[in-house]
Amino acid sequence: MQNALVLGASGMLSGLCMRLLEDDFQVFAVARTWESLERLQRSAGARADRLTTMALDYHDTDRLGRWIAHTQLMHGPVDRVFAWIHGDCESVLGTVDREVFAYRRNPWALHHIRGSRAAEGPYQRPRLSAICTYQEIVLGFALEQGASRWLTVEEIVEGIWRASLSGAGRSVVGEAGPPELRPHGDDMGEVRP
Ligand SMILES: NC(=O)c1ccc[n+]([C@@H]2O[C@H](COP(=O)([O-])OP(=O)(O)OC[C@H]3O[C@@H](n4cnc5c(N)ncnc54)[C@H](OP(=O)(O)O)[C@@H]3O)[C@@H](O)[C@H]2O)c1
């Protein structure tokens, strides 16, 4: 059985957690509040015994690091990480990398999910250990008969899942451009400092 850590697990990535559980993963889910994690537990139903949840602020990297270390000690090494991070992501990803590296010596995958504006910048691999396979998954938008809209949660989950299996360094879910067709309003992606 493989272990997947999901950061920002209880919002649009709830469906991804369910997909991972269906695929026999053990899932370690982090969100900010217990209320949202309790909903996630209920959605998992009979598979909830393979779901470990933790309410913490991932920007509190000391706490995040201690929890990842403890969870790996209890359940074994993390094989795959899906990270949807609002705000500064470098220190969060650095903490995840350090704790996973401390526990294993064979390759593992980090799927970094980013908002649509990331597609406008160059692909940049953060400073991570060499055994970490880093993949950037950019959430784009949908184009239908010349009009654009943000992706639905179902499209996001399916797109992330497919991208994670593709092995590509950078994947875009939906369309990345042209910029003038980007839907109005905010897709709430993180901003890289
Ligand atoms: N390109 C696109 O089409 C696109 C891109 C991005 C988003 N969207 C849409 O936007 C909607 C909202 O997205 P969203 O990201 O704001 O909300 P979300 O995906 O519904 O929730 C964000 C997740 O991160 C957790 N979280 C937030 N800050 C945290 C912190 N500091 N520490 C730990 N966990 C934290 C939240 O936990 P709590 O719930 O406990 O606070 C929640 O699990 C989505 O449903 C999606 O449809 C569309």
pTM of the model: 0.94
Hey, is 60 helix, strand or coil?
A: coil
pLDDT of 127-144, one tens digit each?
999 999 999 999 999 998
Q: Which residues pair with 109 in a beta bridge?
A: 80, 133
Mutate to test the pocket of ligand 1, among 7, 17, 32, 155 (most ligand atoms within 8 A of CB): 32
Q: How far apart are the first and last CA of the chain?
A: 36
Ligand 1 centroid–CA 112 distance in Å is 14
Q: What is the distance between the alpha carbons of residues 92 and 87, in angstroms, rounded to a whole number?
A: 10
CB neighbours of residue 88 within 10 Å: 13
CA distances to 11, 61, 85 from 56, in Å: 15, 10, 13
Confirm if 33 and 44 have CB atoms less than 8 A apart.
no
Q: Of all helices (H) and strands (E), which one includes residue 98?
A: helix 90-103
The number of the ligand 1 atom at minimal distance from the alpha carbon of 155 is: 3
Query: Structural domains in the chain?
Result: 3-181 (3.40.50.720)
Ligand 1 centroid–CA 79 distance in Å is 23
pLDDT of 2-26, one tens digit each?
999 999 999 999 999 999 999 999 9
pLDDT of residue 123: 83
pLDDT of residue 191: 41
pLDDT of residue 193: 32
**pLDDT below 70 — which residues of the chain?**
187-193
Ligand 1 centroid–CA 145 distance in Å is 28
Ligand 1 atom 25: the closest Cα is on which residue?
8
